[in-house]
Structure 1
Amino acid sequence: MNDSEAVMKLILHGGNARSLAMEAIAHAKRGEIAAARTALSEAAEELHHAHQLQTSLIQAEASGEKTEITMLLIHAQDHLMNAMTVKDLAVEFVDLYERMRASKGVEA
């Protein structure tokens, strides 16, 4: 896989992860905690794929292969970091919604 393909896949997996994390929050807000946890799991899987791509780019550069720094690569990294942050916050939101429901005596 060339650098351009890896960068596009970083954007793809990062975007998928962010969307799934936002979906998890929406599920939790509606009281659908199990669906929220499933979406979080799927988001984590997308981030895992993205992280593998990122690691391969880093390893290639560490072994002497030059990676051209393009606006697309910067965008991909920004996209990935944003997705990671949104996923982490989504976990907190889902936990919070679950605790709120439990404190009201409503099962998830």
Structure 2
Amino acid sequence: MTDEQKWFSIIAFAGESFSLLNEALIAAKKQDFDASQRLLGDSENILKEAHHIQNELLENEINGKSIEFSMLFTHAQDHLMNVILAQNIYRELIELQHNKH
């Protein structure tokens, strides 16, 4: 897989993870907390795939295989970071919704 394909994979995994987060929050609002927790877990598992690719790229750079600066790479990193942050926030929102009922 080329570096560009890896960056696109990070974006795709992060996007799917974020979609599942939204579904988890919607389920929590409907008081379907089993579905909410399942979706949250699915989101976390998918984001691990993106994080795994990021770690591979970082390890390559540490071992002397540099990557060229790219807006696509920057976008992938930004997307990943935002979803990691969103997971933390959504987890708290879902817990608040659960405690409310």
TM-score range, shorter chain: over 0.9
Look up the match of 1:31: 31
1:66 and 1:51 map into 2 onto residues whose CA distance is 18
Paired-residue identity, %: 32
The answer to whether the Cα contact below 8 Å between 1:20 and 1:43 also exists between their aligned partners in 2 is yes
Look up the match of 2:81: 81
Question: Deviation string for 1:38-91 (max 9, x for gaps)?
Answer: 110001001110110000000001100111111000000010011111111111
If you compute each CA radius of gyration, which structure gives the higher value, 1 or 2?
1
Normalising by structure 1, what TM-score? 0.90
Amino acid at match of 1:40: L
Pairing of 1:1-108 with structure 2 (within 5 A): 1-101=1-101
What is the number of equivalent residue pairs in this alignment? 101
Question: Deviation string for 1:8-55 (max 9, x for gaps)?
Answer: 000001111111111111110111111110110001001110110000
Amino acid at match of 2:64: G
Q: Structure 1, unaligned stretches of length 5 or more? A: 102-108
Amino acid at match of 2:70: T
The answer to whether the Cα contact below 8 Å between 1:18 and 1:83 also exists between their aligned partners in 2 is yes
1:23 and 1:52 map into 2 onto residues whose CA distance is 23
1:64 and 1:86 map into 2 onto residues whose CA distance is 32
Normalising by structure 2, what TM-score? 0.96
> How large is the Cα RMSD of the aligned pairs?
0.7
